[in-house]
Structures are given as structure tokens and as C-alpha cells.
Amino acid sequence: MTGSLTLFDTLGRPMRDLRVSVTDRCNFRCTYCMPKEAFGSDHTFLPRAEVLDYEEIERVVRAAVHLGVRKVRLTGGEPLVRRGVERLVAILATVDGIDDLTLTTNGSLLASKAEALADAGLDRVTVSLDALDDPTFMGMNDVRFPVARVLDGMAAADAAGLGPIKINTVIRRAANEHAILDLADRFRGTDTVVRFIEYMDVGHTNGWRLDEVVPAAEILAAIDARWPLDPVDPAYRGEVARRYRYRDGAGEVGLIASVSQPFCGDCTRARLSADGRVYTCLFATAGHDLRGLLRGGATDDELADRLREIWTARTDRYSELRSLETVELPKVEMSFIGG
């Protein structure tokens, strides 16, 4: 397996991004992702033997990079609950061809991990933060975790050089709409970019309803009325956030509008679950097994060939086709393949 290729799916979309879920476990129970009703104390997570080890993940990543992937993001669950995840970062940092090695976290363990992650070669972190006030934030994470400890983690990440930090904020009607202006105000004038995300029908357990979606246009209007904004051109094909610059020069915000403004046409993401399945859409109902190949003696070329087959057959455009029937399909949970 030599060189690097450009791989396209049936709709002409290249494979440029790989999101790697390192665990299906999380220490939060966010109501839109891992609600306690479905992920309670009796929930059975993946047995250790079924989870890919770091060397197996490295093999998949190297194959994906050979096929054109340039950005690798570690996700979960919560990736920092997996023991020694900084060792995986160090392994992947040696893979020639990765331009951006990043990690998405809820920030709960970031204060103690940031320096080690930076030393291992991580480029940046994205932090999930759905409100700045404890009553709202604790209600959404549903484990009574305080905002201050997430902010401490962000400060540690910034000090370690893991910036500029991005914040992901899921906005849910009647839950945290006030957080829009709170977060915009808090991070204006910094290099931290807040990205507001429409509440999505990922998985089959979060009780998603269309009337709980706050459309990106409404979020944009709320911010623009307070601090006027101008649109910014995408930095690259497949950038999921629509970017806006404060007219007074105080930085940027982003909007991710999978529900109201689908971006399937430029989606360049593949996802690897913790148990070694490749998913070609966040809203997929099934994945493609690679663990069997990895543990069955497949060569690197055979692994790359299988990835090529999966991507070139890809037809996904769920958000463009979203309907009552597709919403009710038993889709894979976001906590299993990352957001």
C-alpha cells in the first residue's frame, strides 16, 4: 500500500475526514444523546474484547489516509474516559498524510489530560458545552456536572497549545435557547469559535421531535440582532459549519444546520465505531465490519480495498431525504459513532 489516492462515492464526494470512536462509554448522560432512560445503570456497553485496540485503529487510519483522508478526529462516547488515549494520539501523530488530528470531548477530564494530549501530538480540541449556567448545563448533561470544570479544562487545553478551541452547542427548544446569546457574548473577542448545532434525530432513543429544533436561521437572527454578522466563505469543501464574522471584528460563530439546511452534497466524512464498523452517514442504520478483517489476517492492501469498496458504493443523503418514515428508523446511536 503506497502513495495516496483520491476516492469518490456515487455522488462524487471524496473521503477526506475520518471520525474514530475510541469508546462507546461516556460519563455524561446528555438528554439528546445518551438519555438515562436508555443508558441507565443496567446498560450493557461493549465488552473490552470487542473494542478495537490502538494498533488496529492505526491500521484503519493508515488505510483511510492512503485513500485520501486528511483529517482524523477522535470521538466517543467520551474519548477521554478510555485509558491511555494519549498513546493512540502519539501513534496517529506519526501517520504521514494527516493534516489535522483533533479530538471532541465533553471537557470533564480535559484539565488533567490536556498537556499529555498536546505532548503526544494532538493539534486541537473541540469541546461540547450546551450552556454557561449550572442549572441548564447540569440538566442537559444529567449527571450534575458543573460548567466551571469544563471551563477549567478549556483553559488547560489553551495553555497546552490545543487551540484555537471550538465549542459545539446543541440548541433544543425550551431547554437552552438562552445559551445562544450567553455563549456568543462570553467568547466574543477571543479566538474560540462557538458553533451552534440544530438538535438532530441521531439514533433512536433521544425522543427527537421536529418542534424542538431551533432552526439555524432563528439562531443567526438572534445573534445578528445583538451583534451584526457577515457570512464567511467556507474554508474547504465539506465544512459543515456555516461561518459568520462579527462585523465589529470580534471573531466568528458557526451554525450547523443538518435539519433545516442539509449539507449532504458536500459530506466527506466516514466514521469508525469502537467495535470496528465503518459508517458512511451519521444517520446510518448499519455499518460495515472491519474488525473481522483486522483479526482475520487481512493485509493492509486488503483492508484498503474493503474501505474503497465501502466508500465508492456510498449513496447516503439522509438529511436531504428526511421524512417521518426515515426519522423513525432504528438508527445507530450518536454515542456509538461520535457526532
In a domain, 45, yes or no: yes
**Residue 120's CATH number:** 3.20.20.70
In a domain, 131, yes or no: yes
Average pLDDT over every residue of 190-211? 84
pLDDT at 186: 98
- How long, in residues, is the chain? 339
pLDDT at 52: 98
In a domain, 247, yes or no: yes
pLDDT at 203 over 80: no
* Dihedral over Cα of 167, 172, 178, 181: its sign: positive
In a domain, 12, yes or no: no
Q: Is residue 220 within 8 Å of residue 244, measured between CB atoms?
A: yes
Q: Which pLDDT band holds residue 236 (cuts at 50, 70, 90)?
A: confident
Compute the mean pLDDT over every residue in the chain, rounded to the nearest whole number. 93
In a domain, 297, yes or no: yes
pLDDT at 62 over 60: yes
Percent of the chain with pLDDT over 70: 94
- The domain tally of the chain equals 1
Domain with 319, as residue range(s), is 17-337
Cβ partners under 8 Å of residue 129, min gap 6: 107, 137, 147, 150, 167, 168, 169, 183
Compute the distance between CA of residue 33 and CA of residue 289 in angstroms, rounded to an integer. Answer: 24
| Weakest mean pLDDT among 162-166, 209-213, 241-245 | 209-213
Q: What pTM did the predictor assign?
A: 0.94
Average pLDDT over every residue of 37-44? 90
In a domain, 8, yes or no: no
In a domain, 132, yes or no: yes
pLDDT at 325 over 90: no
Q: Is residue 258 within 8 Å of residue 198, measured between CB atoms?
A: yes
In a domain, 67, yes or no: yes
